[in-house]
Amino acid sequence: MSVKTTSSSEIAEVSVETTQQKIGLPKDFISYIKEKSVINGDGGRPNFLQVCKKEGKDPLEVVLDILELNWLKNRPYRQIAKKKDTSYHTIFRLLKDCEPWKQQLTTYLLTIPRRKNFFNIHSETSDYETVQSYIERAKREKLKSWKKVLQSAEKCWKFLGYKDPVRWTANDIVAYLDQVKTDGARSGRLDSVRQIAPQIADKHSRHSIKTGRFREKIQRRKKEIFGPEYQMMRTALQKAEMDYELLVMDLHVTLGAREGTKGSKGGLCGISWEQFKKNFTKLDLWEAKVRGGFWSRDCPLDLFFLDLPERLRDLWIERGKPQNAKIIEGGYKKGLLKIYEAIKRVVAQEYRGKIDPSLLKELTDLKPHDADKIHVNLCWEAGIPIEVVAGDYLGGQEGNGLCGRIWLSTDTIKKYYLALNKRSKRMDAIYEKVKGYAEQFNLIKELSLEETEGVL
């Protein structure tokens, strides 16, 4: 008596088949796929699904891909045929055969995320059209960090239960970003999502999430710190003898520079000692994120703090007069972030219980990205025209402006950085000017009262 054994592959196939039936695939549809993909030994010409099975592809997934392309994404037959390396008539017949199950299959495709391959590291391809399009564009344009973008976008894909990026909605993305801890990381992840989900980047789409609108949604606040408040922070650091932390903060606020990353030449973390000029009174700063990157030349380092060049020179001598080394050791995470954490602790210890709680929160809720906001506030309070703060792009990787950070747009500065707080000294001066202007109306009022009294 012979005993029939069942292979592990057959067991797996039955398990998958049973699961698919439970979650909504019609039983007769699965039987149709199974029947069409059976490889016969009669030597006849194999059909499309049999060829797919010989090549190691899952015929069911291939058919679902084709249905999704035509029914949900409105791809024409010829385009699908080219993508699947088959004929127009094969796709036509397959879609016609599946027509009786269209309603059920469409519901399945819309509600059940399929575990496609988001990114195959060996072939550098994706099963998702939008992701594959980004990969091809990134290679064509020779982008350096495209794999990091995919890694970031893949986190969103997993969070959304493996949903096709083409069907991500604005609500999906906001829910994903809400669980990310820091604003900077959220912004970076949104950029990644926008690369592989066109509807999120398309301003005409109802699922569009603009960068500015997104920042407002996550309550990206302007920093209401002007001259007196910033001097309070400096005083706390001077008392604690934290000279290095004070130097870094002053340099960051003077330049208004982006933070930069470890190993990059842009931003504050990218500054090396060789970029300082004219006895540390000037600096050439690389702006990496605008217009493909350019140099902002001869940024003045004594803009707000007259002794900053001298302090920079002393630090350079103390470190042995290096040339290529970075001024911020450890980059962003191990260097700059720790510096700002130390600053917050010292400021909190100095002023806790001594000043208004709202002001204390403003001073101690400090992040590296707040330095450019403080920079803009101080420039405005000093009376520097906002157009000068924004700077100008000259072309040929050269920019021109008073400071190291070149925004190019005054609208960007006003919308995201400048805080017109009423405790600013310049605001007080503006009120005084208004009072002088308003005297003419008050004088007229006084004269009219005197004339009235004379008549009575």
CB 367 within 8 A of CB 340: yes
Mean pLDDT of 344-366: 92
* pLDDT of 17 strictly over 70: no
* pLDDT of 417 strictly over 90: no
Angle made by CA atoms 166, 172, 178, in degrees to the nearest 5: 140
CA atoms within a 13 Å half-sphere pointing along the CA-CB vector of 118: 22
User: What integer pLDDT is reported at residue 266 of this predicted model?
Assistant: 85
Whole-number Å distance between alpha carbons of 75 and 67: 10
* The CATH number of domain 227-420 is 1.10.443: yes
The span from the first CA to the last CA of the chain, in angstroms, equals 132
CB 270 within 8 A of CB 326: yes
Q: Which two tokens stand for residue 398?
A: 């050269």
Average pLDDT, the chain: 84
Helix axes 227-239 and 371-381, enclosed angle (nearest 10): 120
pTM of the entire predicted model: 0.54
Q: Band the pLDDT of 446: cuts 50, 70, 90.
A: low
Q: Band the pLDDT of 427: cuts 50, 70, 90.
A: confident
User: What integer pLDDT is reported at residue 41 of this predicted model?
Assistant: 63
Reference 250, options 287, 304, 313, 330; nearest CA is 304
Whole-number Å distance between alpha carbons of 257 and 21: 57
Q: Which helix (H) or strand (E) holds 299?
A: strand 294-300
pLDDT tens-digit profile of 296-347? 888 999 999 999 999 999 999 999 999 889 999 888 888 999 999 999 999 9
Report CA-CA distances (Å) from 291 to 183, 251, 256, 446: 23, 24, 18, 58
Whole-number Å distance between alpha carbons of 26 and 271: 62
Whole-number Å distance between alpha carbons of 254 and 296: 14
The residues spanned by each domain of the chain are 16-111, 129-217, 227-420, 424-456
User: What integer pLDDT is reported at residue 110 of this predicted model?
Assistant: 78
Q: Which two tokens stand for residue 287?
A: 């702006």
Residue of 83 and 445 predicted with greater confidence: 83
Reference 379, options 347, 344, 336, 410; nearest CA is 410
Whole-number Å distance between alpha carbons of 352 and 316: 34
Residue 263: DSSP 8-state: T
* pLDDT of 368 strictly over 80: yes
User: What integer pLDDT is reported at residue 400 of this predicted model?
Assistant: 79
Helix axes 88-98 and 59-67, enclosed angle (nearest 10): 90
Tokens 């797919």, residue? 52
Whole-number Å distance between alpha carbons of 423 and 21: 67
Tokens 């599946």, residue? 98
